[in-house]
Chains A and B, each alone.
Chain A
Amino acid sequence: MVQNIEFKNISKTFVTVRALRDVSFVANAGEVCAVVGENGAGKSTLLKILSGDLQPDKGSLFIDGEEKQFRSPQEAIASGISVIYQERQVMPYLTVAENIFMEDLPVKKNRLIDFKKLYTNTQKILDEFNLPIKPTDRVRDLSVAYQQMVEIMKAYRRNSEIIAFDEPTSSLSEAEIDMLFKVIERLKEERKVILYVSHRLKEIFHISETVVVLKDGRFVTKLRTAETDEQQLVKHMIGRDLGDVFNTLNREKSIGKVILDVKGLTTDRISDVSFKLHRGEILGFAGLVGAGRTETMKAIFGADAVHSGEIWVEGKRVNIKSPADAIAEGIGFCSEDRIAEGIFRVRPVKENMSVVILEQLVRNGFIDFKREARIAKDQVTALQIKTPSVMTKIIELSGGNQQKVLLARWLTSNPKILILDEPTRGIDVGAKAEIYRLIVDLANSGLGIIFISSELPEIIGLSDNIVVMREGRISGFLTREEATEEDILTLAMKSKE
C-alpha cells in the first residue's frame, strides 16, 4: 500500500519555455490532492512527468521515500501510476472488457483468450463501481463520460496506487460529473493517492482535501481545501508580475467607427453571437476552453459553416464562404494552434510569411524572389524575429519567434481586422511582452483587433472591451475599466441557473 508520493525539486525546460521550476510537494494516500493554476502554470507538464511521458531536467519523484526515475510510461505504470488524460486513450473499436484488461488479457491453457473469464472479471469491476455498462459494449458506442470510466477502471484493474486526473470534467455534463465524483470517492476509500488537475474551482472544493497551486511553473502553496475559499485560491493563481508590462504599453485611445458587425451568428458550436468591433479597438474574448470563442472566429473567417447570422464589414454585408473570401475582405486570422493550423513546419521563414500575399509577389507569372526576401527581411527586423536567416525552416525557431512570423504573415497582407487566437500560448514571458507591444502598435495604427486569450491578466491588461463567452454563447460584455478577474471568471464559469 502506497502512503504518499513526493515531487521533489522538479524542473523542466522546453526549448525556451521554463515549464516547471523547482516544484516540490507531497500527496498522501486516501485523499484527493487538487492541482490548480492558470493556463501555462505547468499542470500538464507535471502530469506528463508523473506518467513517464517526459523526463524532468532536475528533481525526482519519491514513492514512499523511494526515488523513482521513469524513462517511459511503461515504467510509471509498473510503479503503480495511472494518468487519466483529457484526451481519452481508449481503443474505440474494442470492447469495454478488452480495454480494461488491455495488456493483461486472461488466457486459457492453450494460449487463447479466455473470454468467459475476461467478461466475468470485468463485470465484477463494473459492479463494484455500479456502472451500468456491459463488458461486451464497444467503447466507441459509449458516451464520453463512460469512455473515461473505462480508463479509470483500467487504472483500478492495474491496482494503480496513484491515479491522476487531467481536467476530467471538461466535456462532462452535471450528472456525469456526479458519477465521476462517486467513483473518485470510492477510490479514496480504497486509500489511493489521487491527483486531480482542474481549473474548475467549484469542483475542487467538492472533491479535494488539499490543493496545490502552481503559477508560471512554480509551486506557490499547498492548502487544506477546507481552510480556504475560491477567492483566496484565485488570488494565489493570479497576481502575476505582468502589471508593469501592461502599464508601459503606449496605448492611444483612438477608437473609431464600427469595422466589423456580427449579428446573430450561429453554427454547430455557437448560437446567436453578436458583437461589434471598431477601428483601433482591441476587443478581448475571454472564456473557458471550449466556450466557443475559437469557433466564433472560425465562422467569421469562413473556416466553419455558418447556419444563420450576418457579418458586416465597414457597413457592408459580406458573404464569406472560405478563408480566401475573408482575406479578400481584409480579415486576418492567427490560429490558436500554431503547429497544426499555423506554420508550415518544413518551409523556410520567408515562405511562411509570404503565403497570404503571394499573388502580389507574382510578376509575369513568376514569384519575385528578391521582393519576397526583402519583405521577409523587413518583417524580421520590424518584429525583431530571432532567426539565422529568412531561409531557415520555421520549425527551428522558438515558439515566440514562430508566432511572430505568423503575425508577420498577416501584417504583410495589410488587414483591416486581425483576429488573434491565443497569440501568447506556449511562449515565454519576454516574447509575450513583445507581442503585447506589437498588438498595441497595430491597434494604434487603426486596425480592429480581436484578441482571444485564456489568461485573464492579458485580457484585462490589453483589451479596450471584453466579451465573455460560455457554452457557445456570449455571457457578458465588460469594459476594461470595470473588468476584474473575478468578474470575468464568474461570467465564464457560472453554471446554468
Chain B
Amino acid sequence: MRHIIDVFKRSENVGLVVVLIVVIVVFSVLQSSFFTVPNFINILFAASVVGMVMLGEAMLIIGGQIDLSPGSVAAFSGVLAAILFERYDLSVLPVVAIVIAAAVLIGLINSQLVNFLKIQPFIATLATMSIFRGLAHIICGGSSVHIRDRLFIYFGAGRIFGIPISIIFLIVVSVIFFIILNRTRFGRHVYMIGGNETAARLAGLNPERIKVALYIITSVLASIGGMLLAGRMNSGQPVAHNGLEFDAITVVILGGVSFSGGSGTLTGCFIALLILESFKNGLLVLNVPVFWQQVARGLLLVIALSIDYFRSIRRKKASKDQ
C-alpha cells in the first residue's frame, strides 16, 4: 500500500488524474446520463481521431518538434480514400496502402523541410498544412465524396462486442507507441534530441533520422484517423478535421509534455485526452452552446497551465531551500 502511495506521489500525473475525477464527478452530478457506459464509449469514440494524432504530436513535441499539418493530412487522406474507392473502384487493402504511402510521403516532406531547408518546424508544417488542405479540396473538386465500401465503413463505424473499432484501434496503437517511446532506443533518442539536440549529436545520435521517423509517424497516424472518420461519415470531406492538430496539441500540453521538448509521458497525454473529451462531452450533454464550449476549452488549458506554472515555482523554491 505504501508502495502504491509512493508511486502516486512521485507520479507527475497525479494532478491530471484528480482533474479527470473532478470533471467526471461534476458532470455526473449535473447530468445523470453522463455517468453511463454508452456515454463513456461515446467519449472514447469521439476521442479516437484526436487520440491518434495526439500520439504523433506528443512524440514530436517531446522531440522538440511540432506538426501543424495533421488536420489537413487527415482530411486529404479521407478524400483520397473516397476517390480511390469511387472513381477507381479499388478495394480496401490497396486503398489503405496508397493512402498510407501518401502519408509517408507527406511526413517525409515535412521532415526534409526541417532537416535540409532548416525551416522552423512550426513554419514548415504551417506551409504543408495549407498545401494539403488545398489539395484535399482540389482532388475532389471541393465537394465531399460518398463512400460505399462496406468494409471501410465498418472500420470507421462498426463495433466489436459493442466497442467501436476506432477505440480498439486507438488503444492498440497507444500501447504500441507507449512501448516504443518508453522501452526502445528510438524512444529514448526522441527524448534526447528534444532535451538537447546538440548534445545528442555529440553523443553520436543522428537527430535528422529520428525527425524523419517522427514526422512520418505523425502523418500516418493522422491519415489513419482521417480514414476512420471518413468511414464513420460514409464520405471523404475536404473540410473535415479543421483544427484537429490544435486539439491534439492542446491535449499534449495539458498532458504535461514540455513545449520546449525533452520531457513528458504518453500516459499523461492519454489522461489529458480523457479530460478534454469528457469535458467536451459533458458540455454537450448539458446543452451548452457550442461557442461557449470553445471558450470553456480554452479556459481549461489556461487553468491547467497555471497550475503547472505554480507547481514548478514551488518545486524550484523547494530545491533552493535544500
B196 touches A344 (CB 8 A): yes
Q: Verify if B191 is at the interface (C-beta below 8 Å from A).
A: yes
Asked if residues B202 and A323 are in contact (CB atoms below 8 Å), the reply is yes
Q: Is the interface of B mostly helix, strand, loop or mixed?
A: helix
Interface contact A324-B196, CB-CB below 8 Å: no
B205 adjacent to chain A (CB < 8 Å):
yes
Q: Is the CB of A301 within 8 A of B196?
A: no
Q: Which residue of A lies closest to B264 (CB)?
A: A346
Decide yes or no whether B195 CB sits under 8 A from chain A.
yes
Query: Is B159 interfacial (CB 8 A cutoff)?
Result: no
Within 8 A of A (CB), among B184-219: 184-185, 188-189, 191-192, 195-196, 198-206
List chain B residues, Cβ under 8 A from A366: 179, 183-184
Say whether B192 contacts A355, CB under 8 Å.
yes
Interchain pairs with CB closer than 8 A, number: 77
Establish whether residues B199 and A341, one from each chain, have CB atoms under 8 Å apart when the complex forms.
Answer: yes
Instruction: Judge whether B258 is part of the interface by a CB distance below 8 angstroms.
Output: yes
CB <8 Å contact, A323 and B191: no
How far apart are A429's CB and chain B's nearest CB, in angstroms?
Answer: 22
Contact indicator B203/A323 (Cβ below 8 Å): yes
> Is B70 part of the contact surface with A, judged by Cβ < 8 Å?
no
> Is B263 on the interface with A (CB-CB < 8 A)?
yes
B202–A367 touching, CB < 8 Å? no
Q: Does B319 contact A (CB under 8 A)?
A: yes
Chain B minimum-CB-distance residue to A324: B204
> Which stretch, A229-237, A306-314, A357-365, touches the partner chain B?
A357-365
Q: Is the CB of B184 within 8 A of A365?
A: yes
> Out of A324, A342, A346, A359, which one reaches B263, CB within 8 Å?
A346
Q: How far is the CA of A327 from the CA of B203 in the complex (A)?
A: 8
Which of chain B's residues have a CB closer than 8 A to the CB of A175? none
Check: B282 CB closer than 8 A to any chain A CB: no
Main secondary structure of the interface of A (DSSP, over half): mixed
Return B280 CB to nearest CB of chain A, in Å: 31
Contact between B184 and A355, CB atoms less than 8 A apart: no
A345 touches B206 (CB 8 A): no
Cβ of B238 within 8 Å of any chain A Cβ, yes or no, is no
A346 CA to B259 CA, complexed, in Å: 12
A323 touches B201 (CB 8 A): yes
Q: CB within 8 A of A303: which of B183, B196, B201, B258? A: B201
A303 neighbours in B (Cβ, 8 Å): 201-202
A356 at the interface (CB under 8 A from B): yes
Q: How far, in angstroms, from A301 to B203 measured CA to CA in the complex?
A: 10
CB distance from A114 to the nearest CB of B (A): 36
Knowing A345-B195, A346-B195 are in contact, say whether A355-B200 is a contact too (CB < 8 A): yes
For the complex, is B255 an interface residue (Cβ under 8 Å from A)?
A: no
In the complex where A358-B188, A367-B188 touch, is A345 in contact with B262 (Cβ < 8 A)?
Answer: yes
Which 9 pairs show the lowest CB-CB distances between chains A and B? A344-B195, A324-B204, A327-B204, A366-B183, A346-B263, A355-B203, A346-B262, A341-B198, A344-B196
What are 5 A-B contacts defined by CB distance under 8 Å? Answer: A303-B202, A344-B199, A344-B262, A362-B184, A362-B185
New contact pairs (5) apart from A301-B202, A340-B196, A355-B188, CB-CB < 8 Å: A324-B204, A346-B263, A347-B263, A351-B188, A358-B185
